[in-house]
Amino acid sequence: MLYELHEMQRAFMRPLVAFSDAGSQLFSSPFSPLAYTPLSRQLAASCELMHRLGKEYRKPEWGLGTTTVDGQAVKVLESVVMDRPFCRLVHFKRDQRRTKGRKDPRVLLVAPLSGHHATLLRETVRALLPAHDVYVTDWVDARMVPLSAGPFHLNDYVRYVQDFIRHLGADDDVHVISVCQPTVPVLAAISLMAEAGEPVQPRSMVMMGGPIDPRESPTQVNNLATTKPYSWFESQLIHAVPLNYPGAGRKVYPGFLQHAGFMAMNPDRHLKSHYDFYLHLLRGDDSDAAAHRRFYDEYNAVLDMPAEFYLDTIRSVFQEFRLPEGTWEVDGQRVRPQAIRKTALLTVEGELDDISGQGQTRAAIRLCSGIPAARKSHYTVQGAGHYGIFSGRRWRELVCPKIAEFIRSA
């Protein structure tokens, strides 16, 4: 019922959203006489702020049509190389005429399935593209997946990652980078492949800001999972997709509830950001206003998560700590990170990460005891929060070069 009420509210809001958008244009366009009336800036700013607070945010485009290789502009073609019901494997293929003779490492970038779209890693991909052949897991909004596709559990996530690695690593030259939530299923996937002695195993894996062992430096996110019983998450956060979507009837953790949770973590920061945006519009600070739009166009675009996957993650990762405890089984197979021997490991954490606290990701080094010490390393990014380790200046200038060097030495 809550999902239906949300859809009804959106339907009622659409006329107001459209009206405020039109008002913003009328009071700001140089071709409109109303833009030259008293208080036009205040009215235009108010209308745009109202429009952005009420509008629906759709999945953003990747917008990575070009990159720079050896100082030359190179076209990039986005193509889907594997298409599964819940995920598409996207290849950012650089123009081979401009990259002929280069043998750059093949990278599988595993994006989180934790509310935001994979495009949240746009800056991650942008920085990797000049020197890497990049593939990204582009997770599908669960409300768009018909019930006939079946459920999607945490174990299915692990199997998806394994299939992607097998597809890309036939020549034993694939490197896996996982950001935040997928560090856990990625480590499980590679552990199981190593245990089985599969011929295709990644040459290296980079774990960034993820809850390998959430008992280390628990954050507000970790505390929520441990202070509420499993039944609370199941009864309060899981809802059925309404009839107006292809996935009608599917049980999901709705994106709008996730977004409310994101905002509730730092309400003062978001309130100040929107007020500053209003002031930027009044003063005509176009670059600052554009930066606000870019950030919230991405931040406010959320997807529904399959209920099975979300609840499995709550129980296995955040409540029972099955990975660090050594009790996790995937389809009857025990996950043993100590079985990994061929794959080099780099863990990356942000000093100020308030989502995955310090030590949570580094725990992978302890768990992967079969990897020689010389092939394991850790990097703490000073002054970086959660998002700072994969986007922004510190990512471009500090983290990405570190990862590139690690991959090439693996």
Percent of the chain with pLDDT over 90: 69
Percent of the chain with pLDDT over 70: 99
What is the rounded distance in angstroms from the CA atom of residue 267 to the CA atom of residue 248?
32
SS3 215: coil
Task: Single out the residue of 117, 122, 124 nearest to residue 300, CA to CA.
Answer: 117
Confidence band, pLDDT 50/70/90 cuts, at residue 128: very high
pLDDT, one tens digit per residue, over 184-195 is: 999 999 999 999
Q: At what angle do helices 267-283 and 286-299 cross, to 10 degrees?
A: 140
- What DSSP element (H or E) covers 403? helix 400-409
Confidence band, pLDDT 50/70/90 cuts, at residue 71: confident
Query: What is the mean predicted confidence (pLDDT) over 277-302?
Result: 88
- What DSSP element (H or E) covers 347? strand 344-350
Task: Single out the residue of 58, 60, 62 nearest to residue 77, CA to CA.
Answer: 62
Q: Which pLDDT belongs to residue 396?
A: 96
Q: Which pLDDT belongs to residue 86?
A: 98
Confidence band, pLDDT 50/70/90 cuts, at residue 127: very high
pLDDT at 260 over 90: no
pTM: 0.92
User: Who wins on pLDDT, 110 or 269?
Assistant: 110
SS3 311: helix
For 84-95, the three-class secondary structure string (H helix, E strand, C coil) is: ECCEEEEEEEEC
Q: Where are the domains of the chain?
A: 1-54, 66-409
Task: Single out the residue of 221, 206, 195 nearest to residue 340, CA to CA.
Answer: 195
CATH superfamily membership of 66-409? Alpha/Beta hydrolase fold, catalytic domain (3.40.50.1820)
- Give the CA diameter of the chain: 74
Query: What is the mean predicted confidence (pLDDT) over 342-369?
Result: 96
What is the rounded distance in angstroms from the CA atom of residue 12 to the CA atom of residue 139?
29
Q: Which pLDDT belongs to residue 19?
A: 87
